[in-house]
Each structure stands twice: as C-alpha cells, then as structure tokens.
Amino acid sequence: MKTILVVDDEPRTREGIRKSLEAWAAGRYKIITAESGVEALKWLEANAASLLITDIRMPEMGGLDLVERVKAMEHPPVVIIISGHPEFDYAQKALQFGVLEYLLKPLDKTKLVQAVELALKREENIHRVERMERLVDPKLMETVRQGKPYGAQVHEAIQFLDNHLHEPVSMRDIADHLHMNASYFSVLFKEQTGLTFSEYLTRRRVQRAKELLSGTRQTIAEISDQVGYQTAKYFVKVFRSIEGMSPGQYRKSIAHSEETIQ
C-alpha cells in the first residue's frame, strides 16, 4: 500500500488533511502524519512515501529545508507544499526543488484531492520510467542516441535478430539472409551501431531476458531457451558478465524495487 506523509506543526490543519485524505482514499493509501520537519525526516530515513505534503513554515526545520534533504534520497517522494502565505520567493524556490503544487491555506478540500491525485500519477510515471531504465541496456540505447539512422541492411538485420532471438543465429546467417558478404556485413554493422555483431546480439538477448525476468514467472531454464542459449549454465554466465549479477538475483532486485519505490 502506498503511503502519503502529511507534515504540519498545526494539529488542526494536520488532522484536517489526514481525515480528508482518509475519506478520499477509502483504504487505498496509508496516511501518516508528522508534527515537524525533523520528525518527518527521521520517518522518511526508515520508510518510503509516495507523496509528501508539508507546510512551509515550521519550527526547527521548515518545509523547503525538508524538501531539500528529501530530494537527496535515492527514491524521494513527490511533494506538495502548503502555506498560509502566498510569498513569491517561497513559491519560486519550491518550484526549483521540483515541488509539484503550492497550495494556500485555508485549504480547499477539492483542490487538495485534485493535487494529490495528480501527484500520485506523477509518482507512478516516475516509477515506470525508473523500471524501464533498469530494463534497457545503456549500450544498446547509445546506438539509438547517436542520431544516425541505420541503413536499410542494418535495420533489416536488427529486425531479423529481434524475430529470431530464440534461435542460435550467427553473423553468417544474417549475411546470407541479406545476400551480403559476411566480412562486409561485419564492418557495416559495427560502423553503424558502434557495436560488433556478437556484442549487439549478446546484449539484445540479455535485455530480452531482463524483460522476461521482470514480467513473467518463467524459470531461468525456460528464459535461457527463449533467448537462444542451449544451456542455462552458459546463459547465467553471460548474463552475469553483462549485469554483474545472476538472473535470479536480478529478478529479486526487480521485485524488491517494486516493493520499496512505491
């Protein structure tokens, strides 16, 4: 269950927000409160929150100081600032810290709920992007970011590979498919992608394996077969050389991130 942390040194405001959000959430979210920035920071150091709603003026540690500290965390929550004063400087600094919304007291319940719904959608999008970044191979992405479009032959070769990752495809197989000399194809592929054919194929297979590890419950042996390796033992060796961990460890790390980021 996702958590929303409400921070305000005024008991009436703090409890008012909590009750309003609990009525709106109807058990879908856990609403936690803290009466100071110091208490909130201590809680966040040991727990995860999807959304932080904090007053801007509080003793000991103000809302902006809290946000600045929280932003340095590995998975910071999305932030909504509330204030009894429409100070331009505060609002400007809040935006610089990436604060999603700046709400003025007295709080309108409808606007509060709208801001919370928007913030939680933002958090989901951030989570989705982080998850996709963990799936994508940076070197494969770099071949796309170079900005140079692939020639027709290399483009066709990549499409052929994607459709035959489950088979023991060789560079000669691709060259024959394209009716090209294997040596010429090798040079052309490296020139346009920045990777040798062998490295590209290995990284593409590992990336596909990561997608299957995170999105299915198939066994390591089944995934090994689907990405073109004849033995699971060799697949594990190749996967570890690219990712620095075994397929099983990768799957556990993905499952853990699903539990903790949210």
Which residues does the chain have with pLDDT short of 70?
Answer: 88, 132, 144-148, 256-262
Q: What integer pLDDT is reported at residue 261 of this predicted model?
A: 28
In angstroms, the CA 187 to CA 181 distance is 10
- Say what the pTM is: 0.61
Q: What integer pLDDT is reported at residue 262 of this predicted model?
A: 31
Could you give the dihedral angle defined by the CA atoms of residues 191, 192, 195 and 200, in that order, rounded to the nearest 10 degrees? Answer: -140
For the chain, give every domain's residue range.
3-134, 138-261
Per-residue model confidence as pLDDT tens digits over 3-37: 999 999 999 999 999 999 999 999 999 999 999 99
Is 32 within 8 Å of 40 (Cβ atoms)? no
Hey, which CATH number is domain 138-261, 3.90.190.20, 3.20.20.100, 3.90.180.10, 1.10.10.60?
A: 1.10.10.60
Q: What integer pLDDT is reported at residue 182 of this predicted model?
A: 94
Burial 119-140 (b: 16+ CB within 10 A, else e): bbebbeebbeeeeeeeeebeeb
Q: Give the domain 3-134 fold.
A: Rossmann fold (3.40.50)
In angstroms, the CA 241 to CA 163 distance is 24
Q: What integer pLDDT is reported at residue 238 of this predicted model?
A: 95
**Sign of the CA dihedral 216, 219, 220, 226?**
negative
In angstroms, the CA 81 to CA 54 distance is 5
Per-residue model confidence as pLDDT tens digits over 154-173: 989 999 999 999 998 999 99
Q: What integer pLDDT is reported at residue 128 of this predicted model?
A: 74
Domains 3-134 and 138-261 share a fold: no
In angstroms, the CA 116 to CA 145 distance is 35
Q: What integer pLDDT is reported at residue 147 of this predicted model?
A: 52
A 10 A CB-CB count for 162 gives: 10
Closest C-alpha among 54, 55, 9, 49 to residue 29: 49
In angstroms, the CA 53 to CA 69 distance is 14
